[in-house]
């Protein structure tokens, strides 16, 4: 907490209640979630309250007061959440500092990948990859005014085996690479993939160089899940989908050595672990 900054925020006539970390109180802000690197914070505040994360105005709570904040793999040990509701006359500012646990991210080696998917060098391929990055970026830039994360997630596969954990440091064909920002769920080719929560499809396209068949779903406030390597896509861009609905089929398209779903999640520009949202629900309305 930074008293001088709070002093700056509070104008004449403003009221402030700054509770201790983790307090579930009647001051207008309830928080829960997984306070760990790669996790998230879910909150309930006043409808349309502005939410500041480490001093930056990032999101607005939904019409029912819900919001979500993603914590990336390198999240610092503390995160500061502040909500402001009302106008300059009746402003209400509530503030929490949460401590964020360190994640554990093992190192994994993946061998036998086609070299063109590890260190592409062909100019035509590099141009294609740039085009695909632009398309994906557009899909990830979607910001649905929704709180479809409020009931947490269900697993996207009926049965699966986790073959690579989220956040692991990767060594691909012997070359150190970016951390793995997905959780790999192995399942037989053709297994149905289900939406883990309601949302809107913002991208659905087969044949991506790295991702193969790729679908993105916007669950609101910049929370977007991704489904890679699909053998078949069964939704269309802009389609509204509901939790449990089949969106595609498990495959091994793109950079994959066998049939699996690489399940990813972003909150705005941060990469987060989607499995941490399983069975999590927003704070109750009290
Ligand atoms: Zn993966």
Question: Which residues 6+ apart lie within 8 Å of 260 measured at CB?
Answer: 163, 184, 185, 186, 187, 229, 250, 252
Q: Find where tokens 């939904």 sit.
A: 62
Residue 237 CA, ligand 1 centroid: distance in Å: 23
* Planar angle of CA 4, 19, 65, nearest 5 degrees: 100
Residue 161 CA, ligand 1 centroid: distance in Å: 13
- Give the residue with greater pLDDT, 92 vs 90: 92
25 bridge partner residues: none
- Give the residue with greater pLDDT, 217 vs 285: 217
Cα–Cα distance, 51 to 266 (Å, whole number): 18
The full set of domains in the chain, from first to last, is 3-99 (2.60.40), 107-277 (2.70.70.10)
Residue 255 CA, ligand 1 centroid: distance in Å: 9
Residue 264 CA, ligand 1 centroid: distance in Å: 8
Q: pLDDT digits over 39-77, tens only?
A: 999 999 999 999 999 999 989 999 999 999 999 999 999
Question: Which residues 6+ apart lie within 8 Å of 179 measured at CB?
Answer: 73, 105, 167, 168, 169, 170
Residue 238 CA, ligand 1 centroid: distance in Å: 25
- Give the residue with greater pLDDT, 146 vs 25: 146
Q: pLDDT digits over 197-231, tens only?
A: 999 999 999 999 999 999 999 999 999 999 999 99
Residue 51 CA, ligand 1 centroid: distance in Å: 31
Residue 230 CA, ligand 1 centroid: distance in Å: 12
Residue 228 CA, ligand 1 centroid: distance in Å: 8
Residue 179 CA, ligand 1 centroid: distance in Å: 10
Residue 72 CA, ligand 1 centroid: distance in Å: 17
Cα–Cα distance, 126 to 95 (Å, whole number): 46
Residue 180 CA, ligand 1 centroid: distance in Å: 6
């Amino acid at each position: 907490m930074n008293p001088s900054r709070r002093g700056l925020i509070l104008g004449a006539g403003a009221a402030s209640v700054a509770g201790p970390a983790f307090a579930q109180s009647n001051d207008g802000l309830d928080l829960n979630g997984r306070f760990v690197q790669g996790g998230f914070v879910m909150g309930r505040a006043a409808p349309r309250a502005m939410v500041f994360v480490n001093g930056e105005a990032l999101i607005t709570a939904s019409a029912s007061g819900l919001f979500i904040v993603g914590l990336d793999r390198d999240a610092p040990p503390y995160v500061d959440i502040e909500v402001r509701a009302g106008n300059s006359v009746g402003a209400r500012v509530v503030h929490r500092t949460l401590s964020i646990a360190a994640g554990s991210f093992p190192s994994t080696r993946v061998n036998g990948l086609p070299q063109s998917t590890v260190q592409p060098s062909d100019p035509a391929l590099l141009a294609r990859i740039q085009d695909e990055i632009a398309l994906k970026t557009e899909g990830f830039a979607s910001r649905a005014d929704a709180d479809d994360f409020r009931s947490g997630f269900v697993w996207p596969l009926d049965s699966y085996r986790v073959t690579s954990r989220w956040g692991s440091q990767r060594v691909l064909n012997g070359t150190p690479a970016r951390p793995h920002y997905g959780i790999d769920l192995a399942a037989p080719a053709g297994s149905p993939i289900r939406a883990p929560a309601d949302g809107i499809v913002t991208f659905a396209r087969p044949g991506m160089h790295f991702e193969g068949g790729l679908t993105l779903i916007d669950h609101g406030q910049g929370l977007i899940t991704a489904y890679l390597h699909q053998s078949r896509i069964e939704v269309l861009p802009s389609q509204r989908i509901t939790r449990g609905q089949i969106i595609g089929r498990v495959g091994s398209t793109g950079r994959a050595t066998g049939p699996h779903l690489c399940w990813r999640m972003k909150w705005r520009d941060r990469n987060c672990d989607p499995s941490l949202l399983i069975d999590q629900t927003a704070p109750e309305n009290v």
